[in-house]
């Protein structure tokens, strides 16, 4: 998978903030991913309630695809970090134009890079979240299930902790619970409150 740098302001500004944060803060727990990670920042009270005792760092960037995350990993975002735990969530933005095998391979590559950079850290790989059909009524449920099945088997073989939170987020496995998302893709505050206790248990081990 090619590493691709985004040139938009959001990506450049967040990348710079992450670099500054890892130099400044003591970090024991890294949350790495796309907007589904980044949007914890919009719910600071929940973030504080669930994760403050783990000395967390949010390295999520909105709209990032896997190739953009690879660029960030190769350009300093974990340099000098001595985290005990890394939670990874990414790949939903690749669903629109890539098949499950390609997406799963990309996620495996990124997790392997993280493992190489932080060999002593526990890595928690979160499965793709369910998402509702898009404006053209295209469903992503089959792709999500296929990617998660592939990742689950791979993680077990490579001492990676895999967690599929789909049952918490979807009543039928086909779409996000409407009470937990305002757009069928991203979680709202109720969605983050729903998954928070499970993430805490995973971090605690």
Q: 197 and 163 in contact (C-beta within 8 Å)?
A: no
Residues with Cβ within 8 Å of 179's Cβ and at least 6 positions away in sequence, in order, are: 190
Q: How far apart are the C-alpha atoms of 187 and 2, rounded to whole Å?
A: 29
The 10s digit of each residue's pLDDT in 92-129 is 999 999 999 999 999 999 999 999 999 999 999 999 99
At residue 174 the predicted structure's pLDDT band, cuts being 50, 70 and 90, is confident
């Amino acid at each position: 998978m090619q590493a691709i740098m985004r040139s938009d302001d959001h990506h450049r500004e967040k990348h710079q903030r992450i670099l500054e944060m890892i130099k400044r803060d003591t970090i024991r727990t890294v949350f790495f991913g796309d907007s589904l990670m980044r949007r914890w920042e919009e719910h600071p009270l929940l973030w504080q309630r669930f994760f403050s005792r783990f000395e967390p760092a949010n390295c999520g960037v909105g709209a990032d695809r896997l190739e953009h995350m690879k660029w960030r990993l190769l350009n300093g975002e974990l340099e000098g970090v001595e985290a005990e735990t890394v939670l990874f969530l990414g790949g939903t933005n690749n669903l629109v134009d890539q098949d499950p095998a390609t997406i799963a391979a990309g996620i495996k590559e990124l997790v392997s890079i993280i493992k190489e950079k932080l060999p002593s850290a526990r890595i928690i790989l979160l499965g793709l979240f369910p998402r509702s059909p898009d404006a053209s009524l295209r469903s992503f449920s089959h792709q999500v299930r296929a990617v998660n099945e592939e990742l689950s088997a791979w993680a077990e073989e490579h001492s990676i902790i895999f967690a599929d939170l789909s049952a918490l987020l979807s009543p039928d496995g086909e779409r996000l619970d409407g009470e937990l998302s305002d757009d069928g893709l991203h979680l709202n505050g109720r969605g983050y409150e729903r998954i928070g206790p499970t993430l805490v248990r995973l971090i605690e081990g």
